[in-house]
Amino acid sequence: MTPTLPADHRELISDLSGIVSDYPYADPQSTLAVLADDAAEALGRVATPAGHRERTGYTLLLHATCWYVCARIFSKSLVASYIQALDGFRAQLDRASCTCPAGAHPARLDSEYEVEAGVSMLTEAGRAAFAEDYGLDEEESAVFDCEGFLADLADEALVRLHEAHRELFGGIDVSHLDAQFVRDDGRLDVVAMQEAIRRSWEDNTGPVALWSARRWLTGQVRDEERIGLFLCLWMGIAQTYEGLPPSYARDLAAALATIDLDVSCEHPQHPWSSADSNVQSRYRAVVHLYAPEDHPDTPVPAELSARELWECPVQYAQLARAALQNLEGWRTMRGGDDEDWED
């Protein structure tokens, strides 16, 4: 009879393939949490033939999906579960036992192929079906169980997960931006900050937003710099379309919390509302405000350019509400627990 995968394993391949191709239709966080839990349970069966197969399958699957855990889901518990399972498998793997000839180990596995291989390796029937589908002989199939090969995968995934944990939940150092954004006389160079935000291809928006938030919280800002600094904070949030992790969001939320949202005024309109909601228009508005001779072009009409309107508490409140909505959207989009975002 032609070997076939169990129905639940075919479904698992489908779910995980959607995740690693970045088009998930199953809930990624819960799906990957179950995967990590199943892998942890398999650690206790490693001395059995089934456990030996599972060690191979789950190492492949955790390696294939770890990038998504690191880049798409901001959950401490999920990262920790992956690290725990991979540490357990790695402790059982002896790289020195590898007797494979040079070049025998699969290199740079395609994620979807690795998912199919990993699920297939969990059972004898799955292994037979995989070998038949891909025309693998006995030696080619045996490579997947090589402890040296699996140790390399586990080590690579663990390095990535530990780095992600620091980047997602640790302290981010942006002090190097002091040299770029603080002039010799202590004044802020708002134009330089805007130039940095505009270079989005350098992944500047998050660091500029975080630096602005921390500067705001320290109170090291002159009165005439307040709106410029706050707009750099706001733009760094608004223009980070994929969301920033908790390591950034905590300080951003703290800075926004300093704004009084329960305010009113008699102004019919404020300057920022007249700027189009695109990067270039916003840039022109801010640089004109701080260097009008060098940047004479601005979308803000003359009747709305008074400093009183720029500094109106209602404008700050409007900006803060919009930024807080973005932060809440990140939490919804990226998942994780409340404490992950609030520590």
DSSP, residue by residue, 58-122: HHHHHHHHHHHHHHT---HHHHHHHHHHHHHHHTT--GGG--PPTT-S--S--HHHHHHHHHHTT
For residues 107-132, give the mean pLDDT: 93
For residues 319-324, give the mean pLDDT: 97
Angle at 195 between CA 191 and CA 200, to 5 degrees: 150
> Do 300 and 283 touch, CB atoms closer than 8 A?
no
Distance between CA 116 and CA 118 in Å, rounded?
5
Distance between CA 159 and CA 91 in Å, rounded?
15
Interval 194-214: pLDDT, tens: 999 988 888 899 999 999 999
User: What pLDDT does residue 289 have?
Assistant: 96
Q: Is the pLDDT of residue 301 over 80?
A: yes
User: What pLDDT does residue 2 have?
Assistant: 66
Interval 33-43: pLDDT, tens: 999 999 999 99
User: What pLDDT does residue 343 have?
Assistant: 67
For residues 257-279, give the mean pLDDT: 93
Q: Is the pLDDT of residue 115 over 80?
A: yes
Q: Is the pLDDT of residue 269 over 80?
A: yes
* pTM of the full structure: 0.90
Mean pLDDT of the chain: 94
Interval 147-187: pLDDT, tens: 999 999 999 999 999 999 999 999 999 999 999 999 999 99
For residues 239-257, give the mean pLDDT: 95
Distance between CA 306 and CA 266 in Å, rounded?
15
Of 240, 258, 262, nearest to 249 (Cα)? 240
User: What pLDDT does residue 60 have?
Assistant: 97
Q: Is the pLDDT of residue 342 over 90?
A: no
Q: Is the pLDDT of residue 3 over 80?
A: no
Residues 6+ apart with CB under 8 A from 57: 118, 119, 120, 121, 122
User: What pLDDT does residue 241 have?
Assistant: 86
Interval 120-141: pLDDT, tens: 999 999 999 999 999 999 988 9
